[in-house]
C-alpha cells in the first residue's frame, strides 16, 4: 500500500524526528546525524537518534526500542530524517527494513517519493524478505 504522506499526523511525526535531531545533532564527531520518530497504536510518539561506535545503532532501532521499553508493541507509523536541521527525509536502511518487518510489518513508513513524501508499509519496503515466523 502506498499513499501520499500529507496528513497532520504524518507531518507531526516528521517534525518529531526533526526536533530530536535538531537537539542532538553532533557536528564535531557526527555520531548523531539521524533522527527517527515512531507512533504507537495508542497515539504516543517515541523518538531516537542514531549512535555510532565500533558498532552503532540506527535511529529507527532506538525509537522502537524506547517504545518497547515503555510497554508498546503495536506501531502505526515511522519517519526518519537526516542532517543538522532534519531537512532530508530518509528511507530506512536494509537492516532497519528487516527489523521493521519483524516488529511492525503493517507499520506505515514515511519515505521520499517522486513528488513528495509517501507512506508505505514496512512489508512493502522489503519485497521477497526472509521471514522468521
pLDDT tens-digit readout, 65-78: 999 999 999 999 99
Which residues are within 8 A (CB) of 16 and not within 5 positions of it... i.e. 6 or more apart?
A: 37, 45, 47, 79
pTM attached to this predicted model: 0.94
Instruction: Give yes or no for residue 116 having a pLDDT over 90.
Output: yes
Average pLDDT over residues 29-57: 93
- The cell for 41 is 497504536
Residue 60 among the catalytic residues: yes
Instruction: Give yes or no for residue 13 having a pLDDT over 80.
Output: yes
Instruction: Give yes or no for residue 61 having a pLDDT over 80.
Output: yes
Which residues are within 8 A (CB) of 12 and not within 5 positions of it... i.e. 6 or more apart?
A: 45
List the catalytic residue out of 15, 60, 88, 133.
60
The C-alpha atoms of residue 82 and residue 131 are separated, in whole angstroms, by 29
Report domain extents, the chain.
2-125
Q: Are 49 and 61 in contact (CB under 8 A)?
A: no
Q: Which residues of 3-27 are buried (b: 16+ CB within 10 A; e: fewer)?
A: eebeeeebeebbebbbebbeebbee
Angle between helical axes of 94-103 and 59-69 (0-180°, round to 10): 20
Has domain 2-125 been given CATH number 3.40.140.10? yes
Confidence at residue 133, expressed as pLDDT on a 0 to 100 scale: 64
Q: Are 10 and 33 in contact (CB under 8 A)?
A: no
Amino acid at each position: 500500500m502506498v499513499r501520499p504522506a500529507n496528513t497532520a499526523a504524518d507531518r507531526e511525526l516528521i517534525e518529531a524526528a526533526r526536533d530530536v535531531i535538531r537537539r542532538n545533532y553532533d557536528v564535531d564527531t557526527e555520531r548523531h546525524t539521524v533522527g527517527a520518530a515512531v507512533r504507537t497504536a495508542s497515539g504516543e510518539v517515541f523518538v531516537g537518534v542514531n549512535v555510532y561506535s565500533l558498532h552503532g545503532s540506527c535511529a529507527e532501532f532506538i525509537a522502537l526500542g524506547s517504545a518497547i521499553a515503555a510497554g508498546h508493541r503495536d506501531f502505526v507509523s515511522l519517519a526518519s530524517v537526516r542532517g543538522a536541521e532534519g531537512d532530508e527525509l530518509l528511507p530506512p536502511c536494509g537492516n532497519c527494513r528487516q527489523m521493521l518487518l519483524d516488529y511492525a510489518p503493517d507499520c506505515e513508513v514515511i519515505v521520499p517519493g517522486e513528488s513528495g513524501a509517501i507512506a508505505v508499509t514496512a512489508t512493502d519496503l522489503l519485497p521477497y524478505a526472509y521471514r522468521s515466523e
